[in-house]
Amino acid sequence: MDTMIELPALRRSAELAPNSVDNDARTVEVIWSAGARVRRASFFGEPYDEELSLDPAHVRLERLNAGAPFLKVHEIDTLDAVIGSVVPGSARIENGRGIAQVRISGRADVEPIWRDIQAGHIRAVSIGYQVHRFDISKPDGGRELWRAVDWTPFEISAVPVGADPAAGFRAKGEHHDCVLHRRDAQTSEGAPPMTEKTTPAAPADDTTDTAATEEITMPDDKTGATEAQTRAAETRSQPKAPKPEALDTEAIATRAREGERDRVSTIYDLAGRLNLERGFAEDLVKRGVTVDESRRLILDQVAARSDETRTFPHVSIPLGGRDERVTRRDAVANALLHRYSPTLFQLDDSARQYRGMSLLELARESLTNAGVNTRGLSRDEVATRSLHSTSDFPEILSAVTNKTLRQAYETYPRTFMLFCRQVLATDFKAMNRVQLGEAPQLLEVGESGEFKRGTLGESKESYKVKTYGRVVAITRQTLINDDLDAFTRIPAMYGNSIAQLESDVVWGIITANPAMADGNALFHTTHKNLAGTGTALAVDAVGAARAAMALQTGFDKKTVLNIRPAFLIVPASLELKAEQLVAQNLVPADSSKVVPQSIRTLAPISEPRLDAASETAWYLAASPNQIDTIEYAYLEGQQGAYIETRNGFDVDGVEIKCRLDFGAKAIDWRGLYKNPGA
């Protein structure tokens, strides 16, 4: 028997897979359904089991593959609730699971959510779906099984946690028609199959209308159907009671026992799923509260504990294994990187099949794998479609450019990192760094004496992170000409320039000698970190500089800090002399020329940027673990070089954007010392 009812949109939970996060592409993979069997609240007063069929023929994926929205907790009333979208064409059914890839928005208000997804704090997601047809059966005479054999997932939402299956029937939204097909029901003799909404004829007083069609509109409020609606549904769906003389006493007793067992198990099951105390469920059982009334009381209890927190049954997420498409994409990227630099990027076994292919051949291969027929396409058409389609080729090029940039960025020598301290900035606002002074001296406390209070001296330095960036376009002509350098050497040059920019900013502080918060320059006689007379780099001069640093005092001008230098910083012109000075195996014949071990422990740092300011000046710096010197900061989540690619709009090709969020400032002058040299 087919029955037509009206249903609202339903909800069911799943989980994100944090191990599948792609930080550069801002994507994460999710299994949006595993077809698990879930207990649901029935329209007719009795619970049933719902199962989503994951037969590809039963699931309509058009809305997901068209770029369905990724929402915040099923919010549908505001555009701010859209925090991303399903990557077009990524939704699919594999091994009995529904899988999709979600790309997170780059809006500033979405960044906290993206960071929590990256860190694994947000794992639960929920799908919204419409069921167009249920196939209903009652296996082994137990609870009814409603199997969705025609249904449409239309949105995915990030949610805090998951649990109550009944919450799926309280979702806002339009109702839609759903056909209920009962396998064990028989159509009345002579009655045609029902495929549309009809009104059943009134049955005779002593017969059961088995072919009646129910038309039910689910409520949109949060309390569910009223008792009157529930009784009306039960009246329409239950057969009339037999005449008294036909009753079987034993059968009635058996049904009563089964009904009581089902009532008790349902109450305990619902309370357990929602993590309610067992005593609450025991009280409902002892008082003989009906299943429907228990559901209402349980939901009220949940609402009292957490204001409208929706929870759903979890779907297991595989933590191992890789998607074939991702594996193929990585193999192609590895083949291109190996072609760019065989010494830096070793060829993987999976990439050998792509080793001899040109860029245009790889573009054609990507289109073919995406289901695009490339037969008869010209070279220009292949290049254009591969850069503006749902194929993997833009992502492959993005991976290649990102890795070459990172490799060049990380190998560039940045000498300032040894004596400077790195921090992370949460935003672009000015950061105020407190320069703490010495702790107050302890005072003797006599018998029954009072502890006296002390204060910490402090000074304040301020700076903020700035953004540096550039965009370069790679056109389709690059693909046609098989110019791999455009995707490798250009990003590598970007990587070098970014590392050089960081060094320019930090060493610019040393050479520019900027003013500190007290109005004096970083290196100043008032700060006692500048030699009054320039002296050539030698044992005596270094010894005097060490003594000056050791005698630095706190803000009270009394407490001696005993700062010990750890680094000897020189321009390139003094590099050899500095290395000779701190050499460990050099023992001069003249004992007066012996270099003390304390000076030999200094680590030499040679920086060519210092030569432009002075070829004779040299410096001492303390370890940042002992005292602040210079601090440099990256924007949180954007440490170092960041590269992003997109299909070009102003140009016919791919645009590569390189960005650096970076800032630096001298925090304390007492950990640095300068001698102008001679």
* DSSP designation for 428: S
Per-residue pLDDT tens digits for 385-415: 887 766 788 888 888 888 888 888 888 889 9
Residue 454 in this model has a pLDDT that exceeds 90: no
Provide the pLDDT for residue 6. 57
Residue 457 in this model has a pLDDT that exceeds 80: no
Does 496 or 447 have the greater pLDDT score? Answer: 496
For 274-332, the DSSP string reads TT--HHHHHHHHHTT--HHHHHHHHHHHHHHHSTT-----------S---HHHHHHHHH
Residue 117 one-letter amino acid: I
Residue 620 in this model has a pLDDT that exceeds 80: yes
For helices 379-387 and 393-411, angle between their N-to-C axes, nearest 10 degrees: 70
What is the Cα–Cα distance from 171 to 169, expressed in whole angstroms? 6
Provide the pLDDT for residue 183. 62
pTM for the whole structure: 0.49
Provide the pLDDT for residue 61. 92
Provide the pLDDT for residue 455. 58
Percent of the chain with pLDDT over 90: 25
Residue 470 in this model has a pLDDT that exceeds 60: yes
The mean pLDDT value for 263-286 works out to: 80
Is the Cβ–Cβ distance between 93 and 59 less than 8 Å?
yes
Residue 241 in this model has a pLDDT that exceeds 70: no
Provide the pLDDT for residue 395. 82
Does 162 or 520 have the greater pLDDT score? Answer: 520
Nearest to 657 by CA among 459, 401, 465, 478: 401
Give CB contacts under 8 A, 24+ apart, made by 55-62. Answer: 55/93, 55/149, 56/93, 58/148, 58/149, 58/150, 58/151, 59/93, 59/98, 59/151, 59/152, 59/153, 60/150, 60/151, 60/152, 60/153, 61/91, 61/92, 61/93, 61/153, 62/152
Per-residue pLDDT tens digits for 526-553: 999 999 888 999 988 999 999 999 999 8
CB-based burial label for 642 (10 Å; 0-12, 13-18, 19+): buried
Residue 453 in this model has a pLDDT that exceeds 50: yes
The mean pLDDT value for 273-278 works out to: 77
Provide the pLDDT for residue 51. 87
The mean pLDDT value for 487-506 works out to: 88
Does 498 or 196 have the greater pLDDT score? Answer: 498
pLDDT tier at 261 (50, 70, 90 boundaries)?
confident
Provide the pLDDT for residue 614. 94
Does 41 or 195 have the greater pLDDT score? Answer: 41
pLDDT tier at 655 (50, 70, 90 boundaries)?
confident
Of the candidate ranges 45-59, 307-321, 403-417, 580-594, the one whose mean pLDDT is the lowest:
307-321
Provide the pLDDT for residue 206. 40
Provide the pLDDT for residue 17. 57
Q: How does the average pLDDT of the chain come out, rounded?
A: 77
Per-residue pLDDT tens digits for 380-391: 888 888 877 667
3-class SS of residue 161 = coil
* Residue 587: CB atoms within 10 Å: 10
Per-residue pLDDT tens digits for 478-489: 778 877 777 788
Per-residue pLDDT tens digits for 12-29: 656 565 567 888 899 998
Nearest to 618 by CA among 473, 514, 528, 510: 510
| Residue range(s) occupied by CATH 3.90.1690.10 in the chain | 458-675
Does 598 or 538 have the greater pLDDT score? Answer: 538
Looking at the DSSP bridge assignments, the partners of residue 92 are: 99
Looking at the DSSP bridge assignments, the partners of residue 421 are: 631
Residue 337 one-letter amino acid: L
Residue 661 in this model has a pLDDT that exceeds 90: yes
Reduced to 3 DSSP states, what percent helix, strand and coil does the chain have, rounded to the nearest 5? 35, 25, 40
Residue with tokens 């928005």: 105
Looking at the DSSP bridge assignments, the partners of residue 570 are: 606
Provide the pLDDT for residue 14. 61
Nearest to 582 by CA among 592, 591, 590, 570: 570
Provide the pLDDT for residue 548. 94
Provide the pLDDT for residue 589. 53
Residue 62 in this model has a pLDDT that exceeds 70: yes
pLDDT tier at 563 (50, 70, 90 boundaries)?
very high
Is 458-675 in CATH node 3.40.50.450? no
Provide the pLDDT for residue 42. 57
Nearest to 457 by CA among 587, 555, 330, 582: 555
Provide the pLDDT for residue 437. 57
What is the Cα–Cα distance from 305 to 81, expressed in whole angstroms? 25
Does 279 or 3 have the greater pLDDT score? Answer: 279
Highest mean pLDDT among 296-310, 441-455, 627-641: 627-641
Residue 185 in this model has a pLDDT that exceeds 90: no
pLDDT tier at 173 (50, 70, 90 boundaries)?
very low
Of the candidate ranges 57-66, 346-355, 468-477, the one whose mean pLDDT is the lowest:
468-477
Provide the pLDDT for residue 339. 87
Q: Measured between alpha carbons, how far is residue 328 from residues 334, 351, 382, 487, 528 in Å?
A: 10, 8, 19, 19, 62
pLDDT tier at 586 (50, 70, 90 boundaries)?
low
Highest mean pLDDT among 90-104, 116-130, 193-207, 649-663: 90-104
Percent of the chain with pLDDT over 70: 75
Highest mean pLDDT among 526-530, 553-557, 649-653: 526-530
Residue 420 in this model has a pLDDT that exceeds 90: yes
Provide the pLDDT for residue 19. 65
Does 442 or 402 have the greater pLDDT score? Answer: 402
pLDDT tier at 229 (50, 70, 90 boundaries)?
very low
The mean pLDDT value for 631-636 works out to: 92
Provide the pLDDT for residue 41. 64
Residue 313 in this model has a pLDDT that exceeds 70: no
Residue 501 in this model has a pLDDT that exceeds 50: yes
